[in-house]
Structure 1
């Protein structure tokens, strides 16, 4: 079995990112900054040959992939997968961050929210807080979200383990950050992977290994 090299990319900045609103499954167009950052990342990756390109089923990842691949000679048909989409925040979708934080503090208390942000299991705690605050069971829990992304990437890795090679994955901030954190705790220097950043994770014999995190174009 050969090694599959995953290039995990968070989509470029969107309008909702710029407005500092919670963005899960809501579609929002890339900003000028987001488009240019994706192009810059494409320049950085122009000499990398990809066996395949996968995006989520949300348009911002597909637009980001388009801009990344402008510099590549080969044309790719993206394979959009629901398993790569961002966590669903339910009725909290598009809420302003400045409104969300007081709601969390009111429900869980300042100390618990601070622990969630700064603690060892910050991704698990925060995602589960969002789900509990949302209150309708539409929002995903941490376990559901991470199982989904791990299963999806494992399925892709298994498809290419005989030949190996490079696979471009364009997905989302919270789901990719939680995936990386599930492999090795507290490796992310910031809360989330940066927009239009690439992280390298290898896959071999059913095991993921972190190589690089949060590289910008």
Structure 2
């Protein structure tokens, strides 16, 4: 089974510097362009199925992929972004001012009242992996999700239930692709993370040196 975890295109929340969580934002103009370039590139992935978070920024990104690959988008709430409760809609400086304890911890796993707990996130990661292995052992799957959740899921794949003890070392950019293959022994192999080669045409000419 090959799974391509894809972050949504730039959203209006990203552009405004807001921590989004479960807040719903549309794609920005740049995000729409990113999604279109991603969709064209996705034709190389030979996808069999396409899942998406139900939040607009992810679902609209997935719809662009679906149109180029003649697939239906299956909404899956389990791959939503981390629920961040009182932090949602705030900028990082505002969060650090109102909740100074977050300076010492990750915003995604702060433990603040009203945010998704480590235990809940662990359960969600376990469920996603179990369901994929149950339904798609021989398929190529794309899942359009969110930067925070994808980085946590990758850390879970490395460490299982002990993932909270690790530093999350994954950078997940807008419309980046992360390829994970599960072997016949149902062990994950991470081929690459955060690939954004499809966005090269958006770079300024002076920044393209060295891309080849």
Task: Give the shorter-chain TM-score range.
Answer: 0.7 to 0.9
Paired position in structure 2 for 1:183 = 157
- Structure 2 unpaired stretches of 5+: 159-165, 199-212
Paired position in structure 2 for 1:122 = none
**Coordinate RMSD, CA, aligned:** 2.0
1: distance between equivalents of 2:39 and 2:87? 33
Which consecutive aligned stretches of 4+ in structure 1 deviate over 3 angstroms post-superposition? 184-190
Counterpart check, 1:102 vs 2:107: no
Paired position in structure 2 for 1:26 = 23
Give the length in aligned residue pairs: 189
Deviates more, 1:86-95 or 1:14-23: 86-95
2: distance between equivalents of 1:142 and 1:12? 26
Cα offsets for 1:58-82 (capped at 9, x unmatched): 222110012234433xx22211111
TM-score by length of 1: 0.79
1:39 to 36, 45, 48: 36
2: distance between equivalents of 1:174 and 1:183? 14
Counterpart check, 1:77 vs 2:77: no
- Structure 1 unpaired stretches of 5+: 117-124
**What secondary structure does 1:44 align onto?**
helix
Q: Using CA pairs under 8 Å that are at least 6 residues apart, name the structure with larger relative contact order, 1 or 2.
A: 1
Q: CA deviation at 1:206?
A: 3.4
Q: CA deviation at 1:197?
A: 0.4
Q: CA deviation at 1:195?
A: 0.9
CA distance change for structure 1 residues 53 and 171 in 2, over 3 Å: closer, same or farther?
Answer: same
